[in-house]
Amino acid sequence: MDATIAALLTQDGLTNGSIYCLLALALVLVFAVTRVIFVPQGEFVVFSALTLAAFEQNKLPGTVWLLIALAAVAAFADVLSLWREPKRMLRSMAGTSLPAALAALLVWGVASAQMSFAIQVLATIAAVTAMGPAVYRLAFQPIASATVLTLLIVSVAVHFVLTGLGLLFFGAEGVRTTAFTSESFTIGSVSISGQSLLVYAFTIFLVIAMGLFFKFTLFGKALRATAANRTGARLVGISPNFAGSLSITLSAAIGAVSGLLIGPIATIYYDSGFLIGLKGFVGAIVGGLASYPVAAAGAIFVGLVESFSSFWASAYKEVIVFTLIIPVLLWRSFTTTHSEEE
Amino acid sequence: MSEALLEVSDLHVAYGQVEAVRRVSLSVPTGKIATVIGPNGAGKTTLLGAIMGLLPSHGTIRFAGERVEGYDTEALVRLGMTLVPEKRELFHEMTVLENLELGGFSRRRSGESRAALLNTLDEVFALFPRLKERQPQLAGTLSGGERQMLAVGRALMAKPKLLLLDEPSLGLAPLITRDILATIAKLRDTGLSVLLIEQNARAALKTADYGYVLETGELSLQGNADELLHDERVIATYLGKR
């Protein structure tokens, strides 16, 4: 391997690592607030890429039907559980079914009017983000106080359901979206693609934005408070459902952006989400599902390992990446003290 | 007795088969301090948890005239009821100021301005000057007494009508306990109603206007605080000779 190849692999690794980094941060966020190991994180990435691809091919994205289905089932669940309290029922619907239905309308409008690329991108982010509250409402709100194991099992189930819905609404074909830019720059003998730079820039921007959100906004502090002390949070009036829904919605938004970033780099199928999410998960595990900076660094490391192992032993790429988790778990089991589940 | 702000009647709380609280009826008049005293394990904390919507219960709970049994804790906070729990339940990794800001969370969500919250913050700092000095410090690094001040301050940030206090003296030096109870009496004089749960019966009855004695989940005695202070049974069981 010479320096040029090493530089290329590094660039590749950093690009993928940046995306895993975003996913790792989303996983840490959702786990800290809800104790859910959010397996379906990758599905948001996939739905985002598939939605934008459908826009580009002038087709109506399957997202419309997916959103309508989520909105309808969430509304039905609200009617079933809250029909005695119409006010609360309407409030719950306004937070879950309504955004999903509006997003479906938006996607339909943007697709049928064949609007510009920028608007398609924004509609994609809105559509995938709007899935967050409905997924929380349907899958996790009813069992919010269950054990971590139960939450994990449901999380796996949600992953399978969403993958199945992905196949139903988007079909089995793989897609690649157009790159945001085809520019490339040369430094010495190494060329750096504009898309990679864009990925880095977006990642840095999102990481900083998340940091500011948690540090300075009321809702950001409310999420930190819920993660730190659930009872304390309830006592100041932060509803665990509000915090849970907000955290999964944020993670859906992060998934949507990640999907837009990864779409031009890799071919995305309806079931690609699991592997992408799992690599974010390895990063999150490095941070013990608790530390944002360590999770971010871990995820970027995962990207680099993946890229270099695809050069040296491409057949074993995934094996090498996922084997990373074993030394990390060993190290963590020796260095962290066991804490009892609440 | 003036009009009751909180009225609990025939409240039952069970953990599975075990009834920890039975047939409890009590009331807190507007602008007064009512206290529930009793030995360890009598069900005092359970009683407060049930009133605050943290534990399921049977019976009726009226707050400011509204039936609130079955309400979420968050909804009760919005209505003007806050609890300072025995374990404080502070956000240890956050600063004193952030803890206080979050105390006003439900007010901010229901549209109150930042300025209104800053006013309340000033009031809390006037009450507990120590918290003002400690603003940037993480809550987890505070001393026991300061933590209790922060827990009370955080609850006050919600501008409650009724403050529920669970064992504010727990683990604190007698002097600090006295300060905190004096502060609570001061708050009562500004119109706040308080339901105070205490093991330290003498201190509680000296601060309160009205008292209840809870034993093995049932109320065994009630009366004006002064009367209870001189009640032979209370003296024999909870106060001892002086």
How long is chain B? 242
For tokens 């968050």, the residue is B74
CB contact under 8 A, A224 and B103: no
- Which tens digits make up the pLDDT trace of B82-116? 999 999 999 999 999 999 999 999 999 999 999 99
- Which tens digits make up the pLDDT trace of B201-212? 888 999 999 999
CB contact under 8 A, A225 and B94: yes
The pair of structure tokens assigned to A191 is: 């060329």
Burial of A134 (0-12, 13-18, 19+ CB in 10 A): buried
Chain B environment of A95 (Cβ under 8 Å): none
Sheet holding B18-29, edge to edge: B18-29, B4-15, B58-63, B66-67
- Which tens digits make up the pLDDT trace of A190-205? 788 888 888 999 899 9
Domain spans in chain B, listed from the N-terminal domain onward? 1-80+161-242, 90-159
H or E segment and range at residue B187: helix B174-189
Helices (H), chain A: 3-34, 41-56, 63-82, 86-95, 97-112, 117-129, 131-135, 148-170, 194-216, 218-228, 230-235, 240-262, 273-286, 292-312, 317-323, 325-335
Residue B78: predicted pLDDT? 94
Alpha carbon of residue B227 to chain centroid:
22
CB contact under 8 A, B90 and A236: no
Distance from CA of B32 to the nearest CA of A (A): 22
Measured between CB atoms, does B150 come within 8 Å of chain A?
A: no
* DSSP track, B188-228: HHTT-EEEEEES-HHHHHHH-SEEEEEETTEEEEEEEHHHH
Alpha carbon of residue B96 to chain centroid:
20
Orientation of helix A63-82 relative to helix A117-129, angle to 10°: 30
The pair of structure tokens assigned to A144 is: 């919010």
* DSSP track, B33-92: EEEEE--TTSSHHHHHHHHTTSS--EEEEEETTEE-TT--HHHHHHHTEEEE-TT----T
Span B1-80+161-242 CATH architecture: 3-Layer(aba) Sandwich (3.40)
Q: Is A60 helix (H, G, I), strand (E, B) or coil?
A: coil
- Which tens digits make up the pLDDT trace of B166-198? 998 888 888 888 888 999 999 999 999 999 998
Domain spans in chain A, listed from the N-terminal domain onward? 3-171+197-335
Residues within 8 A of A (CB atoms), B 69-98 only:
72-74, 77-78, 82-83, 85, 89-94, 98
pLDDT exceeds cutoff 90 at B10:
yes
Percent of chain A at pLDDT > 90 equals 65
Q: Is B9 helix (H, G, I), strand (E, B) or coil?
A: strand
Note the pTM of the prediction, 2 decimals. Answer: 0.89
CB contact under 8 A, B78 and A235: no
Q: How confident is the model at residue B199 (pLDDT cuts 50, 70, 90)?
A: confident
Selecting from B74, B94, B158 the residue whose C-beta is nearest the C-beta of A239 gives B74
Which range (A26-35, B26-35, B231-240) has the least confidence?
B231-240
- Which tens digits make up the pLDDT trace of A210-240? 999 999 999 999 999 999 999 999 999 999 9
Q: Is A68 helix (H, G, I), strand (E, B) or coil?
A: helix
Q: How confident is the model at residue A36 (pLDDT cuts 50, 70, 90)?
A: very high
CA quadruple B63, B68, B74, B78: dihedral, nearest 10: -40
Average pLDDT for A308-317:
88
CB contact under 8 A, B105 and A234: no
Residue B177: predicted pLDDT? 86
- Which tens digits make up the pLDDT trace of A109-135? 999 988 899 999 999 999 999 999 999
Radius of gyration of chain B (CA): 17
